[in-house]
Amino acid sequence: MYITLSRFRVEGDGQAFDNWLLPLADKQRALPGNVMYQVLHDPHDPQARVLTEVWETEDDHIAHLTDPDHVEIIAMGSEHGMRDVYVHHWSRAEGHIERGRGRTEHRLADRDERSDMYHLIDELRTARGLPTS
């Protein structure tokens, strides 16, 4: 896996920026080797954005750099208000595990995994009169 995390601010109309960026982000998600491409907002700072990209390989990441929609993001980002852009890259991110559950208090399939954490979760839920998993 190859991971890129970009942090930046949007100067001006944040909604107009999102209306421009989000369709381009949708196209990046469809590129070969893309695992995740998310544009996130900071609820405490309406101008802050974080772009999280996960690619199967570094070559997939490099290939997307010349995709016309990515080129537009970089070429026109400043015109749409992108400022103070900082990018972090992790190459050869190994050991990727994806897990999911319907609710936060539900246990993972292996009931012995993270047993200390789930014990504390059950204690807190019991103290608050909530059912445990």
Q: For 25-51, give the secondary structure using H, E and C.
A: HHHHHCCCCEEEEEEEEECCEEEEEEE
How confident is the model at residue 45, as a pLDDT? 95
The model's pTM: 0.82
State which residues form the domain around 114: 102-133
Same domain, residue pair 77 and 109? no
Same domain, residue pair 77 and 126? no
How confident is the model at residue 121, as a pLDDT? 87
Same domain, residue pair 13 and 55? yes
Same domain, residue pair 77 and 133? no
Cα separation of 130 and 133, whole Å? Answer: 10
Residue 95 lies in a domain: no
Mean pLDDT of 97-112: 75
pLDDT in tens, 68-78: 999 999 999 99
Same domain, residue pair 59 and 8? yes
Residue 97 lies in a domain: no
- pLDDT band at residue 97, thresholds of 50, 70 and 90? confident
Same domain, residue pair 82 and 108? no
64's tokens: 């997307």
Same domain, residue pair 68 and 106? no
Same domain, residue pair 38 and 70? yes
Mean pLDDT of 7-20: 97
Please count the structural domains in the chain.
2
Same domain, residue pair 7 and 61? yes
Q: Kindly tell me if the per-residue pLDDT of 111 is higher than 70.
A: no
Residues 6 or more apart whose Cβ sits within 8 Å of residue 30? none
Residue 81 lies in a domain: yes
Same domain, residue pair 50 and 82? yes
Same domain, residue pair 106 and 86? no
Q: Kindly tell me if the per-residue pLDDT of 114 is higher than 70.
A: yes
Same domain, residue pair 28 and 54? yes
Question: Residue 59, SS3?
Answer: helix
Of 67, 90, 69, 76, nearest to 6 by C-alpha is 90
CATH code (residue 17): 3.30.70.100
How confident is the model at residue 20, as a pLDDT? 98
Mean pLDDT of 20-41: 97
